[in-house]
Chain A
Amino acid sequence: MTSSAHSTANYLRIFYILLALTIVEVAIVYMHLPKILLVALLIVMAVWKAALVAMHFMHLKFEKRTLALIALSPFVLCVFLILMLMPDIFPR
């Protein structure tokens, strides 16, 4: 692992992005946007924030690929979980 990966400046840069995204998230909830647009924006920002935490704070960006695959596995399983429950959400 390189020292730049752990540099304090990089951590603080990520912190400011996370902070800004959180402020935007709360702000758009108060803006009375169309529901679909609001939900889409919120999900994009939540995934963005989660990815920043995983990549930089949990060092996934600088890790071996095996660990990244382990980290990815629950998301793949969750996609299957949603697909399997589709009949319940959209009954015939």
Chain B
Amino acid sequence: MSDVAAMHAGVEPAETPLTPESWGKLGMWLFLAGDAMSFGCLIVGYGILRYASKTWPVPAEVLGINLTALMTFLLIVSSVTMVLALAAIQDNDKARFKKFMGFTILGGAVFLGLQAYEWTHLIGHTLPEHNLSFSKDLFATTFFVLTGFHGMHVTGGVIYNSAVLAAVSRGRYGAKHVEIAGLYWHFVDLVWILIFTFVYLV
């Protein structure tokens, strides 16, 4: 063993992410850290507005949580199919990858459909019944800003995942790219877990 190797014996060889194989992943993590800060500001802002308000409707009574629980379930399932797709492409099983990636994209698309239904119902029926409106009440404003910002992320994720599926089918992308897309998709799932708790349940 050379002196240099002995010196680094206690250090894991892959400790630095600054190797070309890890650049993509490092870039995605940096982006997600910034994105988490955006969501963090919105959630903290929501919490402070809610705490400072004299009255605040009980979210579970106005919003209803059964449909949202189903939406949470959908996103968690699509996260699982995403890791199963990654496991498939790492095994070089393209057919299995396409199946699970297809389920992931479908899960995201159905989530968006349910959110569109939820929003339509809220704007058309539930909010007027409770004398609430988007422009007058912080409850409604914070709700639409938070879930809308997240819904935009899901939309982006569905497009991103579709592009990755197409690129893998044409042989231009491999497991490395799927893993990076997976990071984004799981992040969107993770944020929804927090939004589900803070906006709907608490």
A residues at B contact (CB < 8 Å)? 6-8, 11-12, 14-15, 18-19, 22, 25-26, 29, 38-39, 42-43, 45-46, 49-50, 53-54, 57-59, 64-67, 70-71, 73-75, 77-78, 81-82, 85, 88-89
Contact = CB atoms under 8 A, between A and B. Distances in A.
A38 B90 CA distance: 42
Given A8-B84, A67-B29, A81 B190 contact: no
Contact of B72 (A22, A43, A70, A89): A22
Contacts of A81: 40-41, 44
A86 to B, nearest CB: 9
Contacts of A29: 60, 65, 201
Q: Report which residue of B41, B76, B182, B187 has the largest number of chain A beta carbons within 10 angstroms of its beta carbon.
A: B76
Contacts of A43: 197, 202
Interface string B46-81: 001001100000001000011001001100110110
A58 B41 contact: no
B32 A53 contact: no
Given A25-B201, A42-B197, A64 B40 contact: no
Interface residues of B, number: 51
Contact of A66 (B15, B66, B87, B189): B15
Contacts of A70: 26, 29-30, 33
A29 B197 CA distance: 10
B82 interface: yes
B59 to A, nearest CB: 9
A39 B15 CA distance: 39
Nearest to A44: B197
Interface in B1-59: 12, 14-17, 22, 25-26, 29-30, 32-34, 36-37, 40-41, 44, 48, 51-52
A15 B84 CA distance: 11
A50 B179 CA distance: 18
B183 interface: yes
Given A6-B86, A58-B190, 19 more contacts: A6-B90, A11-B84, A22-B69, A26-B65, A29-B65, A42-B197, A42-B202, A46-B196, A50-B194, A57-B83, A58-B182, A58-B183, A58-B187, A64-B15, A70-B30, A74-B34, A74-B36, A81-B41, A89-B48
Contacts of A49: 193
A14 B51 CA distance: 34
A88 B76 contact: no
